[in-house]
Structure 1
């Protein structure tokens, strides 16, 4: 993902969960009014904290059906 400060054409959400996997950090963000969740990978040293805001533009993605 490309992390951005300005949200022109980006996806922005609030950190709902975070976990470390190998050399990355997987962060679940709640986005939109229905608080849908998306998962992104960030560098381990990224300061994403619970309830903080993260804005990004996806470079590649996979879609999975809702459970």
Structure 2
């Protein structure tokens, strides 16, 4: 018979073992929402921006 208590060792190992961390999803969702909002903002700015018109200051003759 062993001098060590197997059940006590199992309980101690369970208490010492690190807990499994859950992965958080909200930072990824927030980053994707920010990227989408930024892309929509840039697209809106490109559509609403006035067209580029170039005129020559000096007439070419």
TM range (shorter): under 0.3
Q: Give the TM-score normalised by structure 2.
A: 0.14
Give the greater-gyration-radius structure (CA).
2
Which structure ranks higher in relative contact order (CA pairs < 8 Å, sequence separation ≥ 6)?
A: 1
Structure in which a larger fraction of residues adopt strand: 1
